[in-house]
Amino acid sequence: MFISRRFLQIALATTALSGCASTPPHAGPALGAGTPGTSAPAAADGEVARIRIGPSPAQGALASMDSEPGDEPSAVLSSSGQLRPEVQAYARQLAADRGLRVDAVVSALSGARYSETVARLIAPPPGKKISRSWITYRSRVVEPKTIGWGVTFWQENHDSLDRAAQRFGVPASVIVAIIGVETRYGRNMGSFRVLDSLSTLAFDYPDPAKPERAQMFRDQLSDFLTLVMQGKLDLQTRGSYAGAIGMPQFMPGSVMRYAVDGDGTGHIDLANSPNDAILSVGNFLMEHGWQRGLPVFAPVTLPADPSPLVDGGLKPQRDWPGLRAAGAAARAGTMQTGAGNAWQQGPLGVIDLPEESAGTAEYRTATVNFFALTQYNRSYFYATSVADLAEAVRQRMNLVAGR
């Protein structure tokens, strides 16, 4: 999933529906869903305990978006009532690869329903290409209501946020912002059965020209069913239309590898436990390269035309000496020694935030921490909006505290 960022930056409405790593690459999966199928190390020993994720009352408002199981045809059975041959082969392979009972896998799969809504939402929109607009995207994220909710979330969960910041090096403001962008602090976690969403996309992906996308969703289905077989997820778990779960919108692979028991209960509940969600986001970002003490953006004034410095990738390819030679300059007051200029010692990248209808773009100089955010959702728009929302919430918190 680590591919060029030269994809459409989706509207925030898509992020609200799916969050993290849940949407197609050009849309940026919401996640933790940002890395579906990742094979990176799991959380510390003992932390990925029993995981129980269920719908919260806040999800009721979204229930009308999808049909209840039984209202739609099977996602896995043929007209004769038998598992489709490719599903049978998948079940046998999954059982063999994961040490699971094949009959248990088949039993779990047999109830999967095909969701026409999921197929429609995941498919690329027909017709004319929509111009990307950073101004529009940002205005839907960094807005008064979300900032206010973020302040409340921070106040209610300051102990867990402080623990996450100390343990993983990720500022509280950034974790708050991610949960805000993903689900508006649990207000929009999705109402689709994960089993139905993933089975629909695994076996009937709406674009036959993209078999790699179907395979990615098969991998996520494998992780979901493994967690179910292990007793760590409920088969009826609900999430986004692309299978992302809980407040941080983790795809099943990210639940398996990065979810953390933040409140010490022995269970991980990303839908109903802010502690678990907060620690899990911090763990995800640390595992994807977040560096303690670095800003997301470096305090740099770029040359008049920075466009030649943009490579559009998801890894920083430049450094401070090279940018300075190209005409960049550190802003006044940022050349002090010590932690204040630590960003000058590591890799950097110049990013563009287009306003396509006007033929313009905003440019910023990003540190490795920006690129850690793009592993949550592969979009410059997404990562920048998280950083800007984090700063807006932090400033509001300071005002509330009288600082």
CB burial of residue 362 (10 Å; 0-12, 13-18, 19+): middle
Catalytic residue check, 72: no
3-state secondary structure of 77: strand
Q: What is the pTM of this model?
A: 0.83
**Sequential pLDDT tens for the chain (403 residues):** 333 333 333 333 333 333 344 332 233 333 333 333 332 323 222 232 333 333 333 333 333 344 455 568 999 999 988 999 999 999 999 999 999 999 999 999 999 999 999 999 998 777 778 899 999 999 999 999 999 999 999 999 999 999 999 999 999 999 999 999 999 999 999 999 999 999 999 999 999 989 999 999 999 999 999 999 998 999 999 999 999 999 999 999 999 999 999 988 888 999 999 999 999 999 999 999 999 999 999 999 999 999 999 999 999 999 999 999 999 999 976 544 345 789 999 999 999 999 999 999 999 999 999 999 999 999 999 999 999 999 999 999 998 877 7
Give the whole-angstrom CA distance, residue 194 versus residue 196: 5
Instruction: Enumerate the domain spans of the chain.
Output: 12-76+111-287
Parallel/antiparallel/unpaired status of strands 267-268 and 50-51: parallel
169: left (phi over 0), alpha (psi -120 to 50) or beta: left
117 backbone dihedrals φ, ψ, rounded to 5°: -65, -45
| Catalytic option among 182, 287, 356, 391 | 182
Give the whole-angstrom CA distance, residue 368 versus residue 81: 51
Cα 330 from chain centroid? 32
